[in-house]
Amino acid sequence: MSRLADINGAIAALSWDKETYLPPKSDRFRSQQIATLSSISHEEFTSDETRDLLAKTATIKNLTAKEKKNLLVLQKEFDKSVRFSKEFVVKRSMIISQAFHHWVEAKEKNNFKLFAPALDQLINLKREEAAILGKNTHPYNNLLEEFEPGATVEMLDGLFEEVRSKLLPMISKIREAKPVKSSFLKKEYPQGKQWDFGLSLLNSIGYDFDRGRQDISHHPFTIGIAPDDVRITTRIDENDFSNMTFSCLHEAGHALYEQGLDINEYGLPCGGPASLAIHESQSRLWENHVGRSMNFWQAHYPGLQKEFKSLKKVGLKDFYYGINKVKPNLIRTEADELHYHIHVMIRYEIEKEMLMGNLDAAGAQDQWKSKYKDYLGLDIQDDSEGILQDVHWSHGSFGYFPTYSMGSFYAAQFFKQAQKDLTDLDEQIAKGNTAPLLQWLRENIHQHGRRYEAEELCKRVTGKPLNLKAFIDHAKEKYSDIYRINL
């Protein structure tokens, strides 16, 4: 498994380069290189040697709980992987790698038609993959398993129904309240100064630059190449302070999780993240519960004001209100904490229909426009701010989006528990000291890797399964204060 992790780490390094520094005309052979290594990885993992090693290990007595979990997960992944032929793995890798370059071109030129044929290929590919994995369940369930083991359409339908019933009325009430000011966030923020400030924030919360780095990409992301090489990216808009700042904090949350995994479990399940929703809980916790809190900016706002003239006359409370403004917008990654889940729900609804064979690329674009109008009251003016805004489908990541909302709800539960366990947590954050929180996360979440399933981990940490209560309580308290209304 360590040898396989080396191969997959090489794929990750090539993929990171593809999205950061790859020359424009170099995509053909890069796609081929990644496909070749993906084929080698698949062949190694599905080999008779792996089958024999798994069978032999299963006969060993007195395995530790962690060793049993590693074996259980590996056997499950082996049984799934052997269903895919070498030819399918190569085809999948090539289609996905080439689709990314079509997406980049389409986004830059604001023309969905340049990506639509690749998206149709991806839809067909993912339907084929879902069919290979099993025909006796909803096809979306089979793809969900890759990102969030145990999650189902039935469970997610119930979760998003609760989002509709509890968040939409809250959003409606806030819309009727006196709006908060935020125009100062759209003034002049020079790129170089933003970059330097972002680095200072990353350092302050514990991101280890000796085991990682930050670069620029079309869409912010985190990638783990090895336990001691976890890289993040961001993007900068000189007329939007929030874009880079909260992307930095979000991706740093992912990276802190990766940097906190057990290095001695390299290549094994317990050396990897519990699930994508747990991964997302870490990024949303640092982005929202820490990064959008008054406590955090009590420590960092004086330094921020010194750097940017656009904030010289903006008080701390007005700044705090501004970065938490609730207003419908087109871009998921720039959405406030409440509208964010409407963005995710729209993608979930469209993905399900694509996997059922009810939508092709053109139909998906029509649905995107229709749902943004129905749910958010917004008209899609161009493709880059519409269906092309996210990179995920070009990566073949169908079934990923629901983990964003699940992760946000896990984050609320985890942070609430951290506040209970660390009685002076808020005061420490206000002093600029987030080390106690990071240590709490290391001990309660990071170090365990995949030893516990997401739901089991949540129960161990908070005593309760995943639910919306902590998030709803957090939102009511926070936005009742900001908007001077009773939610």
State the pLDDT at residue 182: 96
Domain at 383, CATH number: 1.10.1370.30
Mean pLDDT over 348-374 rounds to 96
Mean pLDDT over 475-484 rounds to 97
Q: Are residues 189 and 101 in the same domain?
A: no
In a domain, 171, yes or no: yes
**pLDDT tens by residue, 106-115:** 999 999 999 9
What domain range includes position 471?
153-483
88: how many CB neighbours lie within 10 A of its CB?
15
Structure tokens at 72: 């259980």
State the pLDDT at residue 424: 97
Structure tokens at 449: 């890797």
In a domain, 469, yes or no: yes
**pLDDT tens by residue, 406-464:** 999 999 999 999 999 999 999 999 999 999 999 999 999 999 999 999 999 999 999 99
Residue (of 183, 163, 184, 167) closest to 175 by Cα position: 167
Mean pLDDT over the full length of the chain: 96
State the pLDDT at residue 140: 94
Residue (of 313, 355, 467, 300) closest to 124 by Cα position: 355
Q: Are residues 344 and 372 in the same domain?
A: yes
Go through the chain and tell me how many residues it has. Answer: 487
Q: Are residues 118 and 252 in the same domain?
A: no
Question: What's the pTM?
Answer: 0.93
Q: Rounded to whole angstroms, how far apart are CA atoms 487 and 166?
A: 11
Mean pLDDT over 260-284 rounds to 97
**pLDDT tens by residue, 123-157:** 999 999 999 998 778 999 999 988 999 899 999 99
**Banded pLDDT at 266 (limits 50, 70, 90):** very high
DSSP state of 240: B
Residue 91: half-sphere exposure toward Cβ, Cα within 13 Å: 12
Q: Rounded to whole angstroms, how far apart are CA atoms 251 and 273?
A: 15
| Percent of the residues in the chain that have a pLDDT greater than 90, as a whole number | 96
In a domain, 146, yes or no: no
Mean pLDDT over 259-278 rounds to 97
In a domain, 159, yes or no: yes
- pLDDT over 90 (residue 218): no
**Banded pLDDT at 333 (limits 50, 70, 90):** confident
| Dihedral angle over CA of 61, 62, 65, 66, nearest 10 | -70
| Maximum Cα–Cα distance across the chain | 70
User: 271 with 259: CB under 8 angstroms?
Assistant: no
Q: Are residues 394 and 441 in the same domain?
A: yes
State the pLDDT at residue 219: 87
Q: Are residues 203 and 339 in the same domain?
A: yes
Structure tokens at 434: 């987030």
Collapse the DSSP code of 232 into the 3-class scheme (helix H, G, I; strand E, B; otherwise coil) and give the result.
strand
Q: Answer with the one of 140, 175, 195 that is the final residue of a domain.
A: 140
Q: How many domains does the chain have?
A: 2
Q: What residues pair up with 231 in beta bridges, in sequence order?
A: 223
Which among 19, 129, 251, 455 is annotated as catalytic?
A: 251
Mark whether 477 is an active-site residue. no
Backbone angles phi, psi at 255, to 5 degrees: -65, -40
DSSP 136-204: SS-HHHHHHHHHSTT--HHHHHHHHHHHHHHHHHHHHHHHTSPPPP-GGGGS---HHHHHHHHHHHHHH
In a domain, 148, yes or no: no
Q: Answer with the one of 111, 140, 169 that is the final residue of a domain.
A: 140
State the pLDDT at residue 137: 81
User: 326 with 179: CB under 8 angstroms?
Assistant: no
Structure tokens at 411: 């984050």
Q: Are residues 117 and 265 in the same domain?
A: no
User: 281 with 414: CB under 8 angstroms?
Assistant: yes
**Banded pLDDT at 28 (limits 50, 70, 90):** confident
User: 265 with 65: CB under 8 angstroms?
Assistant: no
